[in-house]
Structure 1
Amino acid sequence: MDDLDRKLNDAFPGYVVRKDLVKQVRGNAAVPSYVLEFLLGQNCATDDEEQIKLGIERVKDILAKHYVQRAEAGAIRSDIKQTGFQRVIDKVSVVLNEKRDAYEATFENLGISRVLVDSDTVKNNRRLLVSGVWCIADLSYSANEAKDESPYLLQKLKPIQMSRFDFEGYAEKRGNFTMDEWIDVLIRSIGLDPSQMGKRAKLFQLTRLVTYCERNYNLIELGPKGTGKSHVYSEFSPHGILISGGEVTPAKLFVNNSTGRIGLVGYWDCVAFDEFAGKNKRPKADIVDIMKNYMANKSFSRGIEQVTAEASMVFVGNTSHDIAYMINFSDLFEDLPTVYHDPAFIDRLHAYIPGWEMDIIRGDMFSSDFGFIVDYLAEALRHTRALDYSELYRDHFELSDTLSTRDKDGIQKTFSGLMKIIFPNKEVTTEEIAEILEFCLEMRKRVKDSLYRIDETFSRVQFAYRPVDGGSWVNVETLEEIDFPGTYHARDLVPLEGESVDEAVIEVAEDHSGTTVQEVSAERVSVPAIEEKTLFEGHKAYRENQRGVSFDGLFGDYLKGARRIEIIDPYIRSFHQCRNLMELLEVALRYFDYKAPSLEVHLVTGPDDYDVAKQRDYLDQIANAMAPLGLDFTYEIDMSGIIHARHLKIDDSWDILLDRGLDIFQKFDSGNAFAIENRMPEMRRVRQFEVTYLKKD
């Protein structure tokens, strides 16, 4: 256990579980993770290894005895008849049989139906009436000759979810953790390893959870396959439902006008549509119109009556092109069915998660540390649905007046949801509020900027905030806007008739300051005039997940003609850090003037905490590789542990300050010789970092 594991166990005893235990007990049981963690929470919510082992065996025994495998359903039905009693774990749904004036249950895996259920059980668990709930049920058997009655008798039915939750205690104990620690706890609770992610990626994961704690929140996530887009909606909470295939009837989703029965939005906190994208899909126009009305007004029509509901709507799907193609030739919503590629629908979306920034889920990304039992966290989120945390920013910041009502609504709902998730106790600093608010502005800006491209009636607005007591506006940019400045705000990407591509120009709107953005050729390539380059002096900041960054681009021009380079970085220790050093030396060689006798490079770093001998071996190999090429590489390992600042000192000309040192790239498959990230550093995603270029006198 690490420090965070111990801290979490001390603060929330009985409500945390080691996340790798789910895999150990699942076996071939096709049940959601929250069902397994419910059982683990009853038997393994401890940090005692012996108790965990005993608890795992108990859970395995429970699943072996009571979980209903479809292939064994006949044998279990026979056991109930022979013994007269059996406890089962199965998915149960209930319908009202008006002819019998009785509620009847269907057990999905067991394959039995028309089992009588008492009214109080249905009243206390209304989700039984829609799509089914995983339950622990006690069944007995009593033969009868009636054709319309089941011989199975329901003795007891217990939905698999917590019966009580203390929100005040939960919020109070949140104060024991810093913001970063709490975010890591939440990421672990989802089942992922936070050490594999940057801050931005973690916030994207938490944004998925906003649908559980914010009423009527409309979220979309489009991106490549395999990034875990639907996991949170199928496995995380008993209060959400995932509709596979992305298509559903108005009767099932909203209301059945023939029976008057309310649909999914009346019973679930979150309704998610999986595989929502696909131009070949042809959803019925009537459901699109009802959905747009519901997303805007939180209500839908049932005959002459208006019905309100609180379910959040989530739309997840796969993209068919990469982000460069979408920005340069189409838009971020290009893969939606035609009826949904509609400004009226898109404008009702509060946030857009850029799925292309999410990593493909790998086996090493899953957590083996402690996290909340997901049912406990799900109840914490559900408790806050009636609360509004958006006022937390209003005492400190104001939004631009150019934002529309829907823009502000989307920003505020995302902000409120993330505040509930990260700061349930409302103890938050001004700097932390600004960080979350800026992220929320970006999430809505991605939607609004796409609308600007799709529909000419939309104009660009200023996504910005500033302190309430005045000061400069902070303009927020999406990462795509930074990566594709020439075409991001283009409306017309097709040359006019009779023009060649070289002649076509793109109409671009005015920027926030009122000056006209330069027209860009349809080739989407900016070719600067050939002139002597003036080296930049000052500060640059790079966003997490940004691409197009390399050591050559950062330092190449500053290394031309260099004779001596000093690298001060306390973290040149592990293999990937030494690999980064090697790449920097390759850039130095590229700009080395071979007329000079040699290029001296000296490294000052700290010792590896686990294996200094291996660290020295890596650095010696680098020195040996560079020596025949005229680069004299030396190093010293400072054992005092007092060096913290990170610099790149070039002769007596430049001092380049690096807040992260050379460790700027996110993890990638360095062992794959065919990975494009190995061949082209510009294609790697970076961590958030800053560089300051200081010219010496």
Structure 2
Amino acid sequence: MTELSSLDQKINQVFAGCVVRKDLVKEIRGNAIVPSYVLEYLLGQYCTTSDEDSIQSGIQSVKEILSQHYVHKNEAELVRSNIKEIGRQKVIDKISVTLNEKDDTYEASFFNLGINKVIVGSETIKKNPKLLVSGIWCIAEVEYYHVEDPKVVPWLLTSLKPIQMARSDVEGYKEGRKNFSMDEWIDFILQSMGLNPEVFSRRNKFIQLIRLIPFCERNYNLMELGPKGTGKSHIYSEFSPHGMLLSGGEVTVPKLFVNNSNGKIGLVGYWDCVAFDEFAGNQKKIDKALVDIMKNYMANKTFSRGTQTMGAEASMVFVGNTSHTVPYMLKTSDLFADLPDKYHDSAFLDRIHCFNPGWEVENLRSEMFSEGYGFVVDYFAEILRALRNDDYSSDFNQYFTLGEDISTRDKDGIKKTFSGLMKVIFPNHDATEDEIKELLTVAMEGRKRVKDQLLRIDSTFDKTNFVFFKTNEPTKEIPVQTLEEIEFADIYYGLEATKPSKQTHEQNGDTQGKQAMLTSSPEVTEKPLEEGHKEIKENQKGCSFNDLVQPYLKGAKKLSITDPYIRNFFQQRNLMEFLVSVVKINYPTEEIEVHLVTIQDEFKGDKQEENFLKMKDSLSRYGLIFTWEYDEAKTIHARHIETDTGWKISLDRGLDVYQNFGGDAFDVLTYLPELRACKAYEVTFIKLGK
């Protein structure tokens, strides 16, 4: 990177010494198989600066440290030999400790170095109890001292330093937050997660932020299911030294909760977040006793050790891959369909506070990773951990009230998700009414997704009306819907009594049951056109822009399009796609004239003109006469389409309605716009000359 963005400049100014350039992790990783927080810990010692010379010097220092001290498994024998010959050496390794009751000693095992039964003092264990549970990454100094007694291990641990910050400056963090707007802060946090905020929609940014809540909210139960390759588990293995990712999604009661034979507490007693990877899979063998204990823990934060009840604060995260599309699952079963049978249980699933829609997240591509600045992750992890002590769940009460229909368990889920989002985005409790409304809506949708699927699984659950009210307008409902409820309305509701009204469909631009996107549309009686207003949600699919406006174009001989932003290639592609849909209406028996008013691109005006000429030549063969003019004064801002039949279609985003989808020749989205994720936009249909 040569020139810093305005956001990166502000980040370096406000949080100097606490941030690092995120692309450096890949540069120094090499073949070291260590979590990102280990590498960023080292980068944080040498590269927390924006000065390029200092960064390069720091990178070299970190590479030398890794080269000299990180133990590769295939070089372990050589490292052990060096320690024997030299006498001592510092190593970077994952270390775990067990208690040898026979000898009344603690014994350490080095994961990569391959040495065991290294004596550890009790004081070290008191300071670092996680050594006893799955182990932690450390910088350790090891000595070799051989004696004749074969019972004595020659390896000595002379010092041990966990790779994580000793303390966190929460007040300084909160003070620094005041320098950023909400949008800037969200982008900053995404960069801290290693992601490029420029390629994520606002809704997808919130999906990423929800993944952080288990680190800052105690006893938070989160589930995320979706396709492979979307980064569901990455955050729980790489982001924080306080999180534990269990591969395979299978674990025993003693490992997770307590071993009744020796009284040893399991993972929930030591980690802030325990995540189950590959949680889905119908063929997995699951211990019913584990499920029962987990139900109690997720509901009451307690578990039993014989006759004694114990408590813990670890949040539980369940991530897994789906094997079917969302509409298929809704048509045949439910969105929890891929879970093992013993977890496909209404009592277990009702404990989930938020169901994150992993199917909305695109597969991670190279351009999705950040090259900007973000918090050194162990610094940020310590901040999030400190915020677990605070409660932000009542911050919305000054502005909003939840509907009376919402149960206590539903409210708990909503409040915990809302509290977590507030901690991540507004740690100073300073969100405005509109900002709180946005966060509360996200939180309610996450819980509503759980409850709506429970209705399909267990008929004893009552349908809940997820609404909230302004505190000063207690009679005016603000409804909340999940995105899949809007997209697939005709199959989302399993019971006739729960189907939405026609009015609800029309409010969401879904007048013909868009869940049948890949099947031929049923014959419908053409209705008279009416004035109206439609809102499309961010990430919504199944609402092709062309299908939305096409009925209002029929019979027109002339169209005028006003849109100042037809400059970039994707905007011109959208225009061409729209014009092709106009051809479909009229070809082969009719001709139509379409005139565009736009603004010429300041830097690529020649290419813009060239593309318009190509459109004109191609479209003229099929009865569409395309003309255009540039507004030289550059005063146009409104975007709309007008027809000679008296209709004006007002477009708040113009033709720029789709999120970036690449446009590759072998991408299905290139050919089926109804499957593309939309940006949030609004369309108003106005009859002129009434």
- By the TM > 0.5 criterion, same fold? yes
Within 1, Cα distance between the matches of 2:32 and 2:633?
A: 54
Q: Does the aligned pair in 1 maintain the 2:575–2:655 contact within 8 Å?
A: yes
| Aligned counterpart for 1:562 among listed residues 556, 560, 563 | 556
| Aligned counterpart for 1:543 among listed residues 512, 515, 537 | 537
Within 1, Cα distance between the matches of 2:33 and 2:591?
A: 68
Match of 1:495 in 2: none
Distance 1:598 1:530, change over 3 A: closer
Within 2, Cα distance between the matches of 1:371 and 1:639?
A: 42
Within 2, Cα distance between the matches of 1:167 and 1:111?
A: 38
Write the mapping of 1:95-106 to structure 2, written as runs, cut at 5 A: 95-106=98-109
Distance 1:634 1:92, change over 3 A: same
Match of 1:683 in 2: 675
Whether 2:417 is the aligned partner of 1:423: answer: no
- Letter in structure 2 aligned against 1:481: E
Match of 1:655 in 2: 648
Match of 1:600 in 2: 594
C-alpha distance after superposition, 1:68-91 (max 9, x if no partner): 000000000000010111111100
Within 1, Cα distance between the matches of 2:659 and 2:44?
A: 34
C-alpha distance after superposition, 1:413-445 (max 9, x if no partner): 000000000101111100010111011111000
Within 2, Cα distance between the matches of 1:597 and 1:304?
A: 84
| Aligned counterpart for 1:361 among listed residues 338, 341, 364 | 364
Whether 2:285 is the aligned partner of 1:291: answer: no
- SS of the equivalent of 2:490 reads coil
| Aligned counterpart for 2:321 among listed residues 318, 323, 332 | 318
- Tell me how far 1:531 sits from its aligned partner: 3.4
Distance 1:652 1:513, change over 3 A: closer
Distance 1:152 1:623, change over 3 A: same
- Tell me how far 1:510 sits from its aligned partner: 6.9
- SS of the equivalent of 1:103 reads strand
Within 2, Cα distance between the matches of 1:165 and 1:72?
A: 36
- Letter in structure 2 aligned against 1:477: Q
| Aligned counterpart for 1:588 among listed residues 582, 589, 613 | 582
Name whichever of 630-639 and 146-155 sits farther off. Answer: 630-639
- Tell me how far 1:527 sits from its aligned partner: 7.5
Identity of aligned residues (%): 54
Within 2, Cα distance between the matches of 1:188 and 1:616?
A: 37
Match of 1:696 in 2: 688
Whether 2:64 is the aligned partner of 1:61: answer: yes
Whether 2:445 is the aligned partner of 1:442: answer: yes
C-alpha distance after superposition, 1:549-573 (max 9, x if no partner): 2232122111112233222222211
- Letter in structure 2 aligned against 1:670: G
Match of 1:397 in 2: 400
- SS of the equivalent of 1:474 reads strand
Write the mapping of 1:154-303 to structure 2, written as runs, cut at 5 A: 154-303=157-306
Q: Does the aligned pair in 2 maintain the 1:568–1:605 contact within 8 Å?
A: no
C-alpha distance after superposition, 1:459-510 (max 9, x if no partner): 211100011122411111111111121221215xxxxxxxxxxxxxxx4447
- Tell me how far 1:181 sits from its aligned partner: 0.9
Q: Does the aligned pair in 2 maintain the 1:283–1:339 contact within 8 Å?
A: yes
Name whichever of 437-446 and 121-130 sits farther off. Answer: 121-130
- SS of the equivalent of 1:473 reads strand
| Aligned counterpart for 2:610 among listed residues 608, 617, 624 | 617
Match of 2:658 in 1: 665
- Tell me how far 1:604 sits from its aligned partner: 1.2
- Tell me how far 1:594 sits from its aligned partner: 6.2
Match of 2:490 in 1: 486
C-alpha distance after superposition, 1:554-597 (max 9, x if no partner): 22111112233222222211111110010011112222376666
Distance 1:342 1:25, change over 3 A: same
- Tell me how far 1:662 sits from its aligned partner: 1.1
Within 2, Cα distance between the matches of 1:51 and 1:634?
A: 55
Within 2, Cα distance between the matches of 1:509 and 1:639?
A: 54
Match of 1:494 in 2: none
- SS of the equivalent of 2:224 reads strand
Match of 2:89 in 1: 86
Within 2, Cα distance between the matches of 1:3 and 1:148?
A: 63
- Tell me how far 1:335 sits from its aligned partner: 0.9
- Tell me how far 1:625 sits from its aligned partner: 2.1
Q: Does the aligned pair in 2 maintain the 1:462–1:512 contact within 8 Å?
A: no
- SS of the equivalent of 1:465 reads strand
Within 1, Cα distance between the matches of 2:64 and 2:393?
A: 46
Match of 1:19 in 2: 22
Name whichever of 279-288 and 550-559 sits farther off. Answer: 550-559
Write the mapping of 1:510-521 to structure 2, written as runs, cut at 5 A: none
- SS of the equivalent of 1:226 reads coil
- Tell me how far 1:696 sits from its aligned partner: 1.0
Q: Does the aligned pair in 2 maintain the 1:461–1:512 contact within 8 Å?
A: no
Task: Give the TM-score normalised by structure 1.
Answer: 0.93
C-alpha distance after superposition, 1:632-690 (max 9, x if no partner): 3233344555433222222362222222221111122312x232211211111111111
Write the mapping of 1:37-56 to structure 2, written as runs, cut at 5 A: 37-56=40-59
- Tell me how far 1:118 sits from its aligned partner: 2.1
Q: Does the aligned pair in 2 maintain the 1:397–1:466 contact within 8 Å?
A: yes
Within 1, Cα distance between the matches of 2:503 and 2:618?
A: 54
- Tell me how far 1:528 sits from its aligned partner: 7.0
Write the mapping of 1:138-149 to structure 2, written as runs, cut at 5 A: 138-149=141-152
Within 2, Cα distance between the matches of 1:408 and 1:330?
A: 26
- SS of the equivalent of 1:112 reads coil
Q: Does the aligned pair in 1 maintain the 2:539–2:677 contact within 8 Å?
A: yes
Q: Does the aligned pair in 2 maintain the 1:212–1:381 contact within 8 Å?
A: yes
Within 2, Cα distance between the matches of 1:644 and 1:124?
A: 62
- Tell me how far 1:374 sits from its aligned partner: 1.1
Structure 2 gaps of 5+ residues are 505-511
- SS of the equivalent of 1:472 reads strand
C-alpha distance after superposition, 1:442-462 (max 9, x if no partner): 100010011111101012111
- Letter in structure 2 aligned against 1:447: V
| Aligned counterpart for 1:461 among listed residues 450, 461, 464 | 464
Within 2, Cα distance between the matches of 1:563 and 1:533?
A: 21
Within 2, Cα distance between the matches of 1:311 and 1:417?
A: 14
- Tell me how far 1:164 sits from its aligned partner: 2.2
- Letter in structure 1 aligned against 2:568: S
Within 2, Cα distance between the matches of 1:597 and 1:362?
A: 43
Structure 1 gaps of 5+ residues are 492-506
Whether 2:613 is the aligned partner of 1:629: answer: no
Match of 1:123 in 2: 126
Distance 1:514 1:49, change over 3 A: closer
Q: Does the aligned pair in 1 maintain the 2:599–2:634 contact within 8 Å?
A: no
Match of 2:507 in 1: none
- Tell me how far 1:235 sits from its aligned partner: 0.5
Within 2, Cα distance between the matches of 1:76 and 1:622?
A: 67
Match of 1:499 in 2: none
Within 2, Cα distance between the matches of 1:50 and 1:272?
A: 39
- Letter in structure 1 aligned against 2:598: V
Q: Does the aligned pair in 2 maintain the 1:601–1:631 contact within 8 Å?
A: no
Distance 1:613 1:307, change over 3 A: same
Within 2, Cα distance between the matches of 1:478 and 1:36?
A: 38
- Letter in structure 2 aligned against 1:544: E
Within 2, Cα distance between the matches of 1:361 and 1:558?
A: 39
Within 2, Cα distance between the matches of 1:639 and 1:164?
A: 59
C-alpha distance after superposition, 1:184-204 (max 9, x if no partner): 111111111111111111101
C-alpha distance after superposition, 1:494-551 (max 9, x if no partner): xxxxxxxxxxxxx444769999xxxx99x98997775342224221111111111223
Name whichever of 237-246 and 364-373 sits farther off. Answer: 364-373
